[in-house]
Amino acid sequence: MVVDDDADLLASTCEWLGATGFEVEGVALGGDALRRLEAAAAAPPEVVVTDIRMPGLDGLAVLKGVRHLDADTPVVLLTGHGDIALAVEAMRAGAHDFLEKPYDADHLVAVLDRAIAQRRLAGEIRTLRLRVAGGDTLETRLIGNDPAMGELRRRVARLADVDADVLIVGETGTGKEVVARALHDYGRRSESPFVAINCAAVPETIFESEVFGHERGAFTGALSRRVGKIEHADGGTVFLDEIESMPLALQGKILRLLQERQVEPLGGNRLRPVDVRFIAATKTDLKRAAAGGSFRSDLYYRLSTVELHLAPLRQRRQDIPLLFDHFVEAAAARHGVAVPKVSPATVAALQTAAWPGNVRELKAEAERHVLGYPQVAPPPGGDDGSLPARLAAYEAQLIREALAQAGGSVAEAAAALGIPRRTLAEKMARHGLRRDRQSA
């Protein structure tokens, strides 16, 4: 909705915005605009553009009225020369942005695009909060609007009640155990144990005892029978995390277990049947590992009845603001502090960061944000979420990555980036970046 008492300017603004793809409603008076907004409460416009100086209700009154009807609707103010003080007052009252007349039409479109994107994000966050308040759902476990996440939720929902073994493939920190728990919790085995075994953390010398159990006297110190993790999980789910780290000698025992669904405790001579579903997770290509001889090919084919591939965070950057807001809310509640504001420039910096640790790293950054010690921050002065601020944040992130790969060497980083060392040093100073003190 565009509100302006200047008929010619209103007509030209509506015509331009319509030509660029917006559905536009033009209104000449502030009072009429609020009445129309109230009547359209079920389907309000996504953004309101209003002149400040108008007869009757001025732009500030329109702003207050819009925020009373729907606090999430962004309002962009058009100001004449000399109205800057009013514009500052309006920004304090909750205006999204203001443009001074005569404004650049393309800049107005960019401002509106950004305003609508933020409104839609606010709607997604509100929906997520309602889902959380309404109970535990797949949407609150596997958060994201990226098409890959939608497909993952659909596959998890289909597989939850199926007893087929599943192999989850994804980089470190992509949420493989979260997916495994969802498969367990939303299926018929949810009332039975979910037992996670980190194959990289259990020493080979005690692996059999931990996983299969042992009988009394099986070895020195075995004073009583011990039920292993597999038998403990009877009726439920066993999650074999980092399966690629399992020694070859133990892979054969796991293969036999998968085929026969029976365990033989260490020191025993009687097989015990178990009703267990197996979910394995890996951060490597097991098929390639099998071809290279570091992983049993027969175990790979047995595990990979169904494969779920998790996309790294860098491939679904549109989900970063939603995930970050969720983690910030959770961290604030955990620490008993107020939820801190996340500025548009911070969101821009988050969306351009590399995130090698994926969602786990983003969650840790949200924790630091709540505690007041963020590592990912917008460049100095870049707090408006504009294109220059986003480009500056992206440039700063590229420099950070180059410095990290060069071990802190400015000369090597400059060579990798294809710019003179002096230029890189100037950019580092502008972005407030430092090289590693331990590096040359």
Domain of 118, CATH number, reads 3.40.50.2300
Predicted structure pTM score: 0.63
Mean pLDDT of 137-160: 89
Decide: helix, strand or coil at residue 274. Answer: coil
Which residue, 8, 30, 16, 10, is CA-closest to 112? 16
How many separate domains does the chain show? Answer: 3
pLDDT above 70 as % of the chain: 89
Both tokens of residue 26?
Answer: 């033009």
Letter string b/e over residues 396-415, b meaning 16 or more CB atoms within 10 A of that residue's CB: bbbbbbbbeebebbbebbbe
Distance CA(30)–CA(66), nearest Å, equals 10
- 129, 152, 173: which is the final residue of a domain? 129
116 shares a domain with 51:
yes
Q: Is the pLDDT of residue 201 over 50?
A: yes
pLDDT at 136: 63
Residue-wise pLDDT tens digits, 300-348: 999 988 999 999 998 998 899 889 999 999 999 899 899 898 887 788 7
Mean pLDDT of 156-168: 92
Decide: helix, strand or coil at residue 46. Answer: coil
Cβ pair 57, 31 in contact under 8 A: yes
204 shares a domain with 278:
yes
pLDDT at 126: 64
The residue segments making up the domain with residue 14 are 2-129
Q: Is the pLDDT of residue 439 over 50?
A: no
165 shares a domain with 306:
yes
Letter string b/e over residues 313-345, b meaning 16 or more CB atoms within 10 A of that residue's CB: beebeebbbbbbbbbbbbbbeeeeeeebeebbb
Among 41-45, 166-170, 352-356, the range of highest mean pLDDT: 166-170
148 shares a domain with 125:
no
pLDDT at 390: 65
pLDDT at 218: 64
231 shares a domain with 114:
no
Mean pLDDT of 159-166: 91
- The count of other CB atoms within 10 Å of the CB of residue 176 is 23
Cα dihedral 206→208→209→211 (10° resolution)? 110
